[in-house]
A and B are shown apart, each in its own frame.
Chain A
Protein backbone atom coordinates (compact mmCIF):
# COMPACT_ATOMS: atom_id res chain seq x y z
CA UNK A 1 0.00 0.00 0.00
CA UNK A 2 1.08 3.61 -0.41
CA UNK A 3 0.21 6.70 1.66
CA UNK A 4 0.02 8.71 -1.58
CA UNK A 5 -2.64 6.46 -3.10
CA UNK A 6 -4.54 6.34 0.20
CA UNK A 7 -4.63 10.14 0.39
CA UNK A 8 -5.59 10.49 -3.29
CA UNK A 9 -8.45 8.07 -2.61
CA UNK A 10 -9.53 10.11 0.41
CA UNK A 11 -9.47 13.23 -1.77
CA UNK A 12 -11.55 11.52 -4.44
CA UNK A 13 -14.19 10.42 -1.91
CA UNK A 14 -14.36 13.92 -0.41
CA UNK A 15 -14.72 15.42 -3.89
CA UNK A 16 -17.63 13.04 -4.54
CA UNK A 17 -19.20 14.23 -1.30
CA UNK A 18 -18.60 17.87 -2.25
CA UNK A 19 -20.63 17.38 -5.43
CA UNK A 20 -23.53 16.23 -3.27
CA UNK A 21 -24.35 19.23 -1.05
CA UNK A 22 -27.66 17.75 0.05
CA UNK A 23 -25.93 14.77 1.62
CA UNK A 24 -23.51 17.12 3.38
CA UNK A 25 -26.44 19.17 4.70
CA UNK A 26 -28.22 16.04 5.91
CA UNK A 27 -25.06 14.78 7.62
CA UNK A 28 -24.60 18.07 9.45
CA UNK A 29 -28.15 19.12 10.21
CA UNK A 30 -29.99 15.89 11.04
CA UNK A 31 -28.06 14.94 14.23
CA UNK A 32 -28.40 18.49 15.53
CA UNK A 33 -32.13 18.60 14.86
CA UNK A 34 -32.64 15.22 16.53
CA UNK A 35 -30.63 16.32 19.56
CA UNK A 36 -32.71 19.48 19.82
CA UNK A 37 -35.87 17.36 19.71
CA UNK A 38 -34.56 15.18 22.53
CA UNK A 39 -33.66 18.22 24.59
CA UNK A 40 -37.29 19.40 24.47
CA UNK A 41 -38.80 15.93 24.83
CA UNK A 42 -37.02 15.47 28.16
CA UNK A 43 -37.11 19.10 29.24
CA UNK A 44 -35.33 19.43 32.56
CA UNK A 45 -36.46 16.06 33.90
CA UNK A 46 -34.03 14.23 36.10
CA UNK A 47 -33.49 10.54 36.66
CA UNK A 48 -34.37 9.26 40.13
CA UNK A 49 -31.92 6.91 41.71
CA UNK A 50 -32.66 4.49 44.54
CA UNK A 51 -29.99 4.84 47.22
CA UNK A 52 -29.27 2.42 50.12
CA UNK A 53 -31.91 2.98 52.76
CA UNK A 54 -34.73 2.96 50.22
CA UNK A 55 -34.70 6.65 49.40
CA UNK A 56 -35.16 8.01 45.91
CA UNK A 57 -32.81 10.86 45.16
CA UNK A 58 -32.60 13.06 42.14
CA UNK A 59 -29.99 11.76 39.66
CA UNK A 60 -28.52 13.38 36.58
CA UNK A 61 -30.66 15.26 34.07
CA UNK A 62 -32.01 12.77 31.48
CA UNK A 63 -30.84 14.85 28.52
CA UNK A 64 -27.31 14.85 29.95
CA UNK A 65 -27.25 11.04 29.72
CA UNK A 66 -29.47 10.13 26.76
CA UNK A 67 -28.59 13.20 24.68
CA UNK A 68 -24.92 12.54 25.31
CA UNK A 69 -25.28 8.95 24.16
CA UNK A 70 -27.06 10.09 21.01
CA UNK A 71 -24.07 12.27 20.13
CA UNK A 72 -22.30 8.96 19.54
CA UNK A 73 -25.16 6.95 18.10
CA UNK A 74 -26.10 9.38 15.30
CA UNK A 75 -22.63 9.46 13.66
CA UNK A 76 -22.42 5.66 13.93
CA UNK A 77 -25.74 5.23 12.11
CA UNK A 78 -25.08 7.94 9.52
CA UNK A 79 -21.62 6.70 8.57
CA UNK A 80 -22.78 3.07 8.52
CA UNK A 81 -25.41 3.97 5.95
CA UNK A 82 -23.29 6.29 3.82
CA UNK A 83 -20.41 3.83 3.68
CA UNK A 84 -22.52 0.76 2.89
CA UNK A 85 -24.13 2.54 -0.03
CA UNK A 86 -20.86 4.10 -1.27
CA UNK A 87 -19.07 0.74 -1.17
CA UNK A 88 -21.97 -1.03 -2.83
CA UNK A 89 -21.84 1.56 -5.61
CA UNK A 90 -18.12 0.86 -6.10
CA UNK A 91 -19.04 -2.78 -6.58
CA UNK A 92 -22.08 -2.40 -8.81
CA UNK A 93 -20.70 0.31 -11.12
CA UNK A 94 -17.52 -1.62 -11.82
CA UNK A 95 -15.19 0.99 -10.34
CA UNK A 96 -14.06 -1.49 -7.68
CA UNK A 97 -13.15 -4.07 -10.31
CA UNK A 98 -11.26 -1.44 -12.25
CA UNK A 99 -9.44 -0.19 -9.14
CA UNK A 100 -8.33 -3.74 -8.37
CA UNK A 101 -6.54 -3.85 -11.75
CA UNK A 102 -4.58 -0.67 -10.85
CA UNK A 103 -1.78 -0.19 -8.29
CA UNK A 104 -4.42 0.49 -5.59
CA UNK A 105 -3.99 -1.82 -2.61
CA UNK A 106 -7.11 -3.00 -0.79
CA UNK A 107 -5.90 -1.20 2.31
CA UNK A 108 -5.47 2.03 0.33
CA UNK A 109 -9.14 1.82 -0.50
CA UNK A 110 -10.31 0.95 3.02
CA UNK A 111 -8.12 3.55 4.72
CA UNK A 112 -9.04 6.07 2.03
CA UNK A 113 -12.69 5.59 2.95
CA UNK A 114 -11.83 5.57 6.65
CA UNK A 115 -9.99 8.90 6.48
CA UNK A 116 -12.56 10.60 4.28
CA UNK A 117 -15.48 9.66 6.48
CA UNK A 118 -13.54 10.34 9.67
CA UNK A 119 -13.04 13.89 8.38
CA UNK A 120 -16.73 14.17 7.54
CA UNK A 121 -17.51 12.78 10.99
CA UNK A 122 -15.22 15.34 12.61
CA UNK A 123 -17.14 18.19 11.02
CA UNK A 124 -20.41 16.52 11.97
CA UNK A 125 -19.25 16.04 15.57
CA UNK A 126 -18.01 19.63 15.77
CA UNK A 127 -21.42 20.97 14.75
CA UNK A 128 -23.42 18.58 16.94
CA UNK A 129 -21.33 19.00 20.10
CA UNK A 130 -21.12 22.78 19.73
CA UNK A 131 -24.90 22.99 19.49
CA UNK A 132 -25.38 20.47 22.30
CA UNK A 133 -23.09 22.28 24.75
CA UNK A 134 -23.72 25.90 23.86
CA UNK A 135 -27.39 26.00 22.84
CA UNK A 136 -28.91 22.93 24.46
CA UNK A 137 -27.00 23.22 27.72
CA UNK A 138 -25.51 19.73 27.77
CA UNK A 139 -23.39 19.16 30.88
CA UNK A 140 -20.79 16.41 31.23
CA UNK A 141 -17.86 15.69 33.54
CA UNK A 142 -15.64 14.90 30.56
CA UNK A 143 -14.77 17.76 28.23
CA UNK A 144 -16.53 18.64 25.01
CA UNK A 145 -13.36 17.56 23.19
CA UNK A 146 -13.50 14.09 24.72
CA UNK A 147 -17.12 13.73 23.66
CA UNK A 148 -16.37 14.98 20.14
CA UNK A 149 -13.45 12.54 19.92
CA UNK A 150 -15.71 9.66 20.93
CA UNK A 151 -18.32 10.77 18.38
CA UNK A 152 -15.65 10.61 15.65
CA UNK A 153 -14.50 7.20 16.91
CA UNK A 154 -18.08 5.95 16.73
CA UNK A 155 -18.43 7.32 13.20
CA UNK A 156 -15.32 5.43 12.14
CA UNK A 157 -16.68 2.32 13.84
CA UNK A 158 -19.97 2.67 11.95
CA UNK A 159 -18.02 3.19 8.74
CA UNK A 160 -15.83 0.12 9.26
CA UNK A 161 -18.85 -2.08 10.01
CA UNK A 162 -20.67 -0.59 7.02
CA UNK A 163 -17.71 -1.41 4.74
CA UNK A 164 -17.78 -4.99 5.93
CA UNK A 165 -21.53 -5.61 5.83
CA UNK A 166 -21.92 -3.99 2.39
CA UNK A 167 -20.13 -7.03 0.97
CA UNK A 168 -23.25 -9.07 1.75
CA UNK A 169 -25.66 -6.73 -0.01
CA UNK A 170 -26.43 -7.27 -3.68
CA UNK A 171 -28.51 -4.14 -4.06
CA UNK A 172 -28.99 -0.76 -2.42
CA UNK A 173 -32.35 -2.00 -1.11
CA UNK A 174 -30.56 -4.72 0.81
CA UNK A 175 -27.80 -2.38 2.01
CA UNK A 176 -30.34 -0.02 3.52
CA UNK A 177 -32.16 -2.93 5.20
CA UNK A 178 -28.91 -3.81 6.94
CA UNK A 179 -29.45 -0.79 9.16
CA UNK A 180 -32.42 -2.33 11.01
CA UNK A 181 -30.76 -5.75 10.74
CA UNK A 182 -27.31 -4.89 12.13
CA UNK A 183 -27.66 -1.58 13.92
CA UNK A 184 -31.07 -1.61 15.64
CA UNK A 185 -30.40 -4.80 17.66
CA UNK A 186 -27.23 -3.14 18.96
CA UNK A 187 -29.19 -0.02 19.85
CA UNK A 188 -31.85 -2.09 21.66
CA UNK A 189 -29.32 -4.04 23.69
CA UNK A 190 -26.66 -1.41 24.39
CA UNK A 191 -28.28 -0.31 27.65
CA UNK A 192 -30.02 2.75 26.34
CA UNK A 193 -33.56 1.35 26.48
CA UNK A 194 -33.10 -0.85 29.51
CA UNK A 195 -30.01 -0.90 31.77
CA UNK A 196 -27.90 -3.89 30.77
CA UNK A 197 -27.73 -5.10 34.38
CA UNK A 198 -31.48 -5.62 34.48
CA UNK A 199 -31.65 -7.63 31.23
CA UNK A 200 -31.76 -11.43 31.06
CA UNK A 201 -28.30 -13.01 31.16
CA UNK A 202 -28.41 -14.21 27.54
CA UNK A 203 -29.30 -10.70 26.39
CA UNK A 204 -26.41 -9.32 28.41
CA UNK A 205 -24.09 -11.86 26.81
CA UNK A 206 -25.38 -10.84 23.40
CA UNK A 207 -24.81 -7.17 24.13
CA UNK A 208 -21.29 -8.02 25.37
CA UNK A 209 -20.26 -8.89 21.82
CA UNK A 210 -21.92 -5.88 20.19
CA UNK A 211 -19.61 -2.96 19.37
CA UNK A 212 -22.23 -0.30 20.07
CA UNK A 213 -22.45 -1.42 23.70
CA UNK A 214 -18.90 -0.13 24.20
CA UNK A 215 -19.49 2.96 22.12
CA UNK A 216 -22.45 3.96 24.27
CA UNK A 217 -20.71 2.94 27.49
CA UNK A 218 -17.68 5.08 26.61
CA UNK A 219 -19.92 8.12 26.15
CA UNK A 220 -21.78 7.44 29.40
CA UNK A 221 -18.44 7.32 31.22
CA UNK A 222 -17.30 10.51 29.47
CA UNK A 223 -20.43 12.01 31.05
CA UNK A 224 -19.81 11.01 34.64
CA UNK A 225 -16.47 9.22 35.06
CA UNK A 226 -14.12 9.95 32.15
CA UNK A 227 -11.17 8.22 33.81
CA UNK A 228 -12.85 4.84 33.31
CA UNK A 229 -13.73 5.12 29.64
CA UNK A 230 -10.39 3.90 28.24
CA UNK A 231 -11.24 0.19 28.35
CA UNK A 232 -14.26 0.96 26.15
CA UNK A 233 -12.12 3.08 23.84
CA UNK A 234 -9.69 0.16 23.46
CA UNK A 235 -12.58 -2.15 22.54
CA UNK A 236 -13.86 0.38 19.98
CA UNK A 237 -10.43 0.65 18.35
CA UNK A 238 -10.17 -3.15 18.33
CA UNK A 239 -13.59 -3.46 16.68
CA UNK A 240 -12.61 -0.90 14.02
CA UNK A 241 -9.47 -2.86 13.18
CA UNK A 242 -11.28 -6.22 13.08
CA UNK A 243 -14.05 -4.77 10.87
CA UNK A 244 -11.45 -3.27 8.50
CA UNK A 245 -9.56 -6.57 8.25
CA UNK A 246 -12.83 -8.44 7.61
CA UNK A 247 -13.74 -5.74 5.09
CA UNK A 248 -10.41 -6.24 3.31
CA UNK A 249 -11.09 -9.97 3.21
CA UNK A 250 -14.38 -9.33 1.40
CA UNK A 251 -12.65 -7.27 -1.31
CA UNK A 252 -11.82 -10.17 -3.59
CA UNK A 253 -9.56 -9.37 -6.48
CA UNK A 254 -10.72 -12.43 -8.40
CA UNK A 255 -14.42 -13.09 -8.60
CA UNK A 256 -16.71 -15.37 -10.61
Chain B
Protein backbone atom coordinates (compact mmCIF):
# COMPACT_ATOMS: atom_id res chain seq x y z
CA UNK B 1 0.00 0.00 0.00
CA UNK B 2 1.24 3.46 -0.88
CA UNK B 3 1.01 5.87 2.02
CA UNK B 4 1.41 9.62 1.66
CA UNK B 5 1.80 10.05 5.40
CA UNK B 6 3.26 7.66 7.95
CA UNK B 7 3.39 8.64 11.57
CA UNK B 8 4.93 6.38 14.20
CA UNK B 9 4.86 6.91 17.98
CA UNK B 10 4.65 10.67 17.58
CA UNK B 11 4.99 12.56 20.86
CA UNK B 12 4.75 16.34 21.13
CA UNK B 13 5.33 18.27 24.34
CA UNK B 14 4.30 21.86 24.69
CA UNK B 15 4.87 23.99 27.75
CA UNK B 16 5.78 20.88 29.77
CA UNK B 17 2.49 19.25 28.83
CA UNK B 18 2.17 16.29 26.48
CA UNK B 19 -0.20 17.28 23.67
CA UNK B 20 0.24 14.25 21.39
CA UNK B 21 0.60 10.78 22.93
CA UNK B 22 2.48 8.23 20.85
CA UNK B 23 0.32 8.74 17.82
CA UNK B 24 0.65 6.14 15.08
CA UNK B 25 -1.27 6.37 11.84
CA UNK B 26 -1.01 6.52 8.08
CA UNK B 27 -2.82 8.22 5.25
CA UNK B 28 -3.30 6.69 1.79
CA UNK B 29 -2.21 8.56 -1.32
CA UNK B 30 -5.02 10.05 -3.36
CA UNK B 31 -7.55 10.02 -0.55
CA UNK B 32 -9.50 12.53 1.50
CA UNK B 33 -8.87 11.84 5.16
CA UNK B 34 -10.72 13.69 7.88
CA UNK B 35 -8.98 14.66 11.08
CA UNK B 36 -11.77 15.13 13.56
CA UNK B 37 -11.91 16.04 17.18
CA UNK B 38 -12.94 18.78 19.54
CA UNK B 39 -11.10 22.06 19.81
CA UNK B 40 -7.86 21.55 21.74
CA UNK B 41 -7.61 17.85 20.92
CA UNK B 42 -4.32 18.22 19.05
CA UNK B 43 -5.51 18.45 15.43
CA UNK B 44 -3.53 21.57 14.60
CA UNK B 45 -0.43 20.28 16.40
CA UNK B 46 -0.64 17.06 14.40
CA UNK B 47 -0.94 18.98 11.13
CA UNK B 48 1.99 21.22 12.05
CA UNK B 49 4.07 18.07 12.57
CA UNK B 50 3.22 16.92 9.04
CA UNK B 51 4.26 20.18 7.40
CA UNK B 52 7.42 20.30 9.50
CA UNK B 53 6.91 23.41 11.61
CA UNK B 54 6.24 21.68 14.94
CA UNK B 55 9.07 20.69 17.24
CA UNK B 56 8.51 17.04 18.17
CA UNK B 57 9.71 15.18 21.28
CA UNK B 58 9.96 11.70 19.75
CA UNK B 59 8.62 9.47 17.02
CA UNK B 60 8.89 9.66 13.24
CA UNK B 61 6.82 11.52 10.68
CA UNK B 62 7.30 10.50 7.06
CA UNK B 63 5.60 12.51 4.33
CA UNK B 64 5.69 11.41 0.67
CA UNK B 65 8.58 9.11 1.57
CA UNK B 66 10.70 11.78 3.23
CA UNK B 67 11.10 13.05 6.78
CA UNK B 68 8.54 15.79 7.45
CA UNK B 69 9.98 19.27 7.02
CA UNK B 70 12.78 18.26 4.62
CA UNK B 71 13.51 20.81 1.92
CA UNK B 72 12.24 18.89 -1.16
CA UNK B 73 8.85 18.50 0.53
CA UNK B 74 8.32 22.25 0.53
CA UNK B 75 7.62 22.07 -3.20
CA UNK B 76 5.11 19.25 -2.73
CA UNK B 77 2.86 20.24 0.16
CA UNK B 78 0.24 22.92 0.63
CA UNK B 79 -0.67 24.01 4.15
CA UNK B 80 -3.74 25.96 5.17
CA UNK B 81 -3.39 27.30 8.69
CA UNK B 82 -6.46 27.53 10.88
CA UNK B 83 -6.43 31.34 11.12
CA UNK B 84 -6.29 32.78 7.58
CA UNK B 85 -2.63 33.45 6.90
CA UNK B 86 -2.70 35.92 4.04
CA UNK B 87 -1.49 39.50 3.85
CA UNK B 88 -4.36 41.71 4.94
CA UNK B 89 -2.88 44.73 3.15
CA UNK B 90 -2.78 43.00 -0.26
CA UNK B 91 -5.65 42.14 -2.58
CA UNK B 92 -6.80 38.54 -2.91
CA UNK B 93 -5.21 38.39 -6.36
CA UNK B 94 -1.88 39.81 -5.14
CA UNK B 95 -1.79 37.26 -2.32
CA UNK B 96 -2.44 34.33 -4.64
CA UNK B 97 0.07 35.61 -7.20
CA UNK B 98 2.77 35.97 -4.56
CA UNK B 99 2.30 32.43 -3.26
CA UNK B 100 2.14 31.15 -6.87
CA UNK B 101 5.40 32.93 -7.68
CA UNK B 102 7.20 31.07 -4.88
CA UNK B 103 6.64 27.89 -6.90
CA UNK B 104 7.49 29.55 -10.20
CA UNK B 105 3.86 29.54 -11.30
CA UNK B 106 2.24 32.14 -13.55
CA UNK B 107 -0.21 34.86 -12.48
CA UNK B 108 -2.85 33.13 -14.62
CA UNK B 109 -2.59 30.02 -12.45
CA UNK B 110 -2.98 32.16 -9.35
CA UNK B 111 -6.08 33.80 -10.80
CA UNK B 112 -7.57 30.39 -11.50
CA UNK B 113 -7.06 29.35 -7.86
CA UNK B 114 -8.84 32.52 -6.78
CA UNK B 115 -11.89 31.78 -8.91
CA UNK B 116 -11.84 28.10 -7.82
CA UNK B 117 -12.57 29.19 -4.26
CA UNK B 118 -15.38 31.46 -5.45
CA UNK B 119 -13.54 34.77 -5.04
CA UNK B 120 -13.37 35.69 -8.71
CA UNK B 121 -15.47 38.80 -8.21
CA UNK B 122 -13.59 39.84 -5.06
CA UNK B 123 -10.11 39.26 -6.53
CA UNK B 124 -9.28 42.96 -6.62
CA UNK B 125 -10.38 43.57 -3.03
CA UNK B 126 -7.98 44.11 -0.17
CA UNK B 127 -8.11 41.17 2.25
CA UNK B 128 -8.91 43.57 5.15
CA UNK B 129 -12.22 44.41 3.47
CA UNK B 130 -13.32 40.76 3.21
CA UNK B 131 -15.66 38.83 5.50
CA UNK B 132 -14.24 36.08 7.70
CA UNK B 133 -15.39 33.36 5.34
CA UNK B 134 -13.94 35.13 2.30
CA UNK B 135 -10.65 35.62 4.10
CA UNK B 136 -10.51 31.91 4.84
CA UNK B 137 -11.10 31.18 1.16
CA UNK B 138 -8.40 33.64 0.10
CA UNK B 139 -6.07 31.71 2.36
CA UNK B 140 -7.28 28.42 0.86
CA UNK B 141 -6.59 29.71 -2.65
CA UNK B 142 -2.96 30.31 -1.64
CA UNK B 143 -2.68 26.70 -0.43
CA UNK B 144 -4.31 25.22 -3.54
CA UNK B 145 -2.43 27.36 -6.04
CA UNK B 146 0.72 25.23 -6.22
CA UNK B 147 -1.28 22.05 -6.95
CA UNK B 148 0.68 20.17 -4.30
CA UNK B 149 0.85 16.40 -3.90
CA UNK B 150 -0.30 16.71 -0.30
CA UNK B 151 -2.76 19.25 1.01
CA UNK B 152 -2.95 19.73 4.76
CA UNK B 153 -6.03 21.84 5.41
CA UNK B 154 -6.81 23.01 8.92
CA UNK B 155 -10.57 23.67 9.11
CA UNK B 156 -10.96 24.91 5.52
CA UNK B 157 -14.75 25.10 5.57
CA UNK B 158 -15.41 26.88 8.87
CA UNK B 159 -17.80 29.81 8.47
CA UNK B 160 -18.60 29.04 4.82
CA UNK B 161 -22.15 28.95 3.56
CA UNK B 162 -23.59 25.48 2.89
CA UNK B 163 -23.55 25.83 -0.91
CA UNK B 164 -19.90 26.87 -0.93
CA UNK B 165 -19.00 24.18 1.56
CA UNK B 166 -20.55 21.61 -0.70
CA UNK B 167 -18.65 23.05 -3.63
CA UNK B 168 -15.34 22.97 -1.76
CA UNK B 169 -15.82 19.35 -0.70
CA UNK B 170 -16.55 18.48 -4.31
CA UNK B 171 -13.28 20.12 -5.31
CA UNK B 172 -11.42 18.19 -2.60
CA UNK B 173 -12.75 14.93 -4.01
CA UNK B 174 -11.88 15.94 -7.58
CA UNK B 175 -8.34 16.69 -6.43
CA UNK B 176 -8.13 13.33 -4.67
CA UNK B 177 -9.43 11.57 -7.79
CA UNK B 178 -6.57 13.23 -9.69
CA UNK B 179 -4.06 11.82 -7.20
CA UNK B 180 -3.74 14.54 -4.54
CA UNK B 181 -3.73 13.44 -0.92
CA UNK B 182 -5.84 15.59 1.38
CA UNK B 183 -5.90 15.71 5.13
CA UNK B 184 -8.75 17.93 6.24
CA UNK B 185 -9.44 18.82 9.85
CA UNK B 186 -12.80 19.77 11.24
CA UNK B 187 -14.52 19.97 14.58
CA UNK B 188 -17.90 19.58 12.92
CA UNK B 189 -18.95 15.95 12.76
CA UNK B 190 -21.33 16.37 9.84
CA UNK B 191 -18.26 16.84 7.64
CA UNK B 192 -16.84 13.48 8.73
CA UNK B 193 -19.19 11.59 6.43
CA UNK B 194 -17.61 13.31 3.42
CA UNK B 195 -14.21 11.73 4.08
CA UNK B 196 -12.98 8.38 2.87
CA UNK B 197 -11.20 7.79 6.10
CA UNK B 198 -11.47 9.28 9.57
CA UNK B 199 -8.90 9.94 12.23
CA UNK B 200 -10.73 10.75 15.45
CA UNK B 201 -8.51 12.46 17.95
CA UNK B 202 -9.21 13.45 21.53
CA UNK B 203 -6.84 14.81 24.19
CA UNK B 204 -3.91 14.08 21.91
CA UNK B 205 -4.80 10.42 21.46
CA UNK B 206 -6.09 8.70 18.37
CA UNK B 207 -9.40 7.15 19.39
CA UNK B 208 -10.43 5.82 15.97
CA UNK B 209 -8.77 5.34 12.60
CA UNK B 210 -11.15 3.85 10.05
CA UNK B 211 -13.64 4.53 7.25
CA UNK B 212 -16.85 6.33 8.25
CA UNK B 213 -18.86 3.17 7.51
CA UNK B 214 -16.64 1.02 9.71
CA UNK B 215 -16.91 3.57 12.51
CA UNK B 216 -20.70 3.52 12.16
CA UNK B 217 -20.82 -0.28 12.12
CA UNK B 218 -18.51 -0.65 15.11
CA UNK B 219 -20.52 1.74 17.22
CA UNK B 220 -23.95 0.70 16.03
CA UNK B 221 -25.11 4.17 15.02
CA UNK B 222 -25.41 6.06 11.75
CA UNK B 223 -24.76 9.36 13.42
CA UNK B 224 -21.00 10.00 13.45
CA UNK B 225 -21.32 12.54 16.26
CA UNK B 226 -22.99 9.87 18.36
CA UNK B 227 -20.40 7.33 17.23
CA UNK B 228 -17.59 9.57 18.42
CA UNK B 229 -19.31 9.96 21.76
CA UNK B 230 -19.72 6.21 22.17
CA UNK B 231 -16.10 5.53 21.33
CA UNK B 232 -14.94 8.09 23.87
CA UNK B 233 -17.30 6.83 26.59
CA UNK B 234 -16.25 3.24 25.99
CA UNK B 235 -12.60 4.16 26.24
CA UNK B 236 -13.17 6.09 29.45
CA UNK B 237 -15.02 3.12 30.89
CA UNK B 238 -12.17 0.84 29.86
CA UNK B 239 -9.67 3.11 31.58
CA UNK B 240 -11.66 3.15 34.82
CA UNK B 241 -12.20 -0.61 34.83
CA UNK B 242 -9.21 -2.09 33.02
CA UNK B 243 -10.74 -5.60 33.21
CA UNK B 244 -13.60 -4.44 31.03
CA UNK B 245 -11.16 -3.93 28.22
CA UNK B 246 -10.66 -7.68 27.81
CA UNK B 247 -14.30 -8.71 27.80
CA UNK B 248 -16.34 -5.64 27.06
CA UNK B 249 -19.38 -7.67 26.05
CA UNK B 250 -19.51 -9.51 29.37
CA UNK B 251 -18.94 -6.51 31.60
CA UNK B 252 -21.27 -4.23 29.68
CA UNK B 253 -24.35 -6.21 28.74
CA UNK B 254 -26.11 -3.16 27.28
CA UNK B 255 -26.32 -3.89 23.53
CA UNK B 256 -26.10 -0.18 22.73
CA UNK B 257 -22.61 -0.03 24.21
CA UNK B 258 -20.00 0.17 21.48
CA UNK B 259 -16.81 -1.79 21.02
CA UNK B 260 -14.00 -0.19 22.94
CA UNK B 261 -12.17 0.85 19.79
CA UNK B 262 -13.48 1.20 16.30
CA UNK B 263 -10.12 0.66 14.78
CA UNK B 264 -9.29 -1.71 11.99
Contact = CB atoms under 8 A, between A and B. Distances in A.
Contacts of B79: 98, 101
A103 B74 CA distance: 5
A255 B53 contact: yes
B102 A93 contact: no
B149 to A, nearest CB: 13
Interface in A81-97: 93-95, 97
Contacts of B53: 97, 100-101, 253-255
B102 A5 contact: yes
B55 A255 contact: yes
A98 B90 contact: no
A12 B94 contact: yes
A19 B102 contact: no
A12 B89 contact: no
Interface string B37-56: 00000000000100111110
Given A102-B74, A253-B52, A16 B85 contact: no
Contacts of A141: none
Contact of A254 (B55, B84, B87): B55
A104 B86 contact: no
Contact of B89 (A4, A20, A97, A255): A20
A8 interface: yes
Given A102-B103, A103-B74, A254-B55, A8 B98 contact: yes
B87 A94 contact: no
Interface in B57-97: 69, 74-75, 77, 79, 81, 83-91, 94
Contacts of A16: 87, 89-90
Contacts of B75: 103
Nearest to A104: B102
A10 to B, nearest CB: 11
B85 A95 contact: yes
Interface residues of B, number: 33
A100 B146 CA distance: 15
B242 to A, nearest CB: 33
B48 to A, nearest CB: 8
B99 interface: yes
B15 interface: yes
A15 interface: yes
Given A8-B102, A12-B98, A94-B81, A19 B89 contact: yes
B103 A256 contact: no
A11 to B, nearest CB: 8
Contacts of B101: 4-5, 8
B167 to A, nearest CB: 23
B18 interface: no
Contacts of B48: 97
A9 B101 CA distance: 9
A98 B85 contact: yes
Given A16-B90, A20-B89, A254-B55, A102 B83 contact: no
B253 interface: no
A112 B101 CA distance: 14
B5 to A, nearest CB: 15
A121 B225 CA distance: 57
A15 B74 contact: no
- Residue from the set B53, B54, B75, B94 with the largest chain A CB neighbour count within 10 Å: B53
A206 B90 CA distance: 42
B126 interface: yes
B14 interface: yes
B74 A95 contact: no
18 contacts: A4-B101, A5-B101, A15-B90, A16-B87, A16-B90, A19-B91, A93-B83, A95-B86, A98-B79, A98-B85, A100-B53, A101-B77, A102-B102, A102-B103, A103-B74, A104-B102, A254-B54, A256-B14
Closest 9 CB pairs of A and B: A94-B85, A8-B101, A12-B98, A98-B85, A254-B55, A101-B79, A94-B81, A101-B51, A16-B89
Given A19-B90, A95-B85, A101-B77, 4 more contacts: A98-B142, A101-B74, A101-B79, A253-B52
